[in-house]
Amino acid sequence: MKKILVAYATRAGSTVQVAETIGETLSATGATVDVRPVKTVTDLKGYDAVVVGSAIRMGQWLPEAVQFVKNNQPTLGSIPTAYFLVSGFLREDTPEMRSQVQAFLDPVRQILEPKSIGMFAGKMDYSKLSWLDRTIAKAVKSVEGDWRNWDAIRGWAQGLQTTLVCA
């Protein structure tokens, strides 16, 4: 039985729910899974695989997620690692938009190339944003809504069984 860490960075909570769903799906494969914020992970000892995810803000993974990969690159490079992102841009799920959003991962992919990448639409709930983020969202006319596709999230996580669990 493999032990897998699902580590995430979030600002308004949408990515937490995605990470939890990924963790539940991986658990159903028989793996032991911990789901934790990247800021609370101090050691990767004992994990056989890691999934790292982040919300996208200003066209980038959150800084704490990038720092997590940088800090743990030697260990992550020696075990199967996957990345996921959650972005409101993907509410328009076209090949062009997916290509644009995947480019948001380029900086972290330069640190470590993952075995798999999951890209999911997010959720915009003004009530969960800081005053500054809410002001920016309103200024750029971001609309509120929940565009997360739970079947797509679970489907990607099930596919990780082959990529991470059986690796």
pLDDT tens track for 139-152? 766 777 677 899 99
pLDDT score at 164: 78
Ramachandran category for residue 41: left, alpha or beta (phi over 0 → left; psi -120 to 50 → alpha): beta
Give the mean pLDDT of 35-46: 96
Q: What is the 3-state secondary structure (H, E, C) of the chain?
A: CCEEEEEEECCCCHHHHHHHHHHHHHHCCCCEEEEEEHHHCCCCCCCCEEEEEEEEECCEECHHHHHHHHHHHHHHCCCCEEEEEEEHHHHCCCHHHHHHHHHHHHHHHHHCCCCEEEEEECEECHHHCCHHHHHHHHHCCCCCEECCCHHHHHHHHHHHHHHHHCC
DSSP lists the bridge partners of residue 123 as 146
Q: Domains plus CATH for the chain?
A: 3-165 (3.40.50.360)
Cα 76 versus chain centre, distance: 15
With 70 as the cut, is the pLDDT of residue 61 above it?
A: yes
pLDDT score at 122: 80
- Tens of pLDDT, residue by residue over 71-123, are 999 999 999 999 999 987 888 888 998 999 999 999 999 999 999 999 999 86
pLDDT tier at 11, thresholds 50, 70, 90: confident
- The phi, psi pair for 51, rounded to 5°, reads -115, 125
Nearest CA to 65 out of 102, 36, 98 is that of 36
With 80 as the cut, is the pLDDT of residue 131 above it?
A: no
pLDDT score at 167: 54
pLDDT score at 124: 65
- Specify which of 36-40, 88-92, 133-137, 159-163 reaches the highest per-range mean pLDDT: 36-40
Nearest CA to 6 out of 119, 83, 69 is that of 83
Looking at the chain, the whole-number percentage of residues with pLDDT higher than 70 is 89
pLDDT score at 4: 96
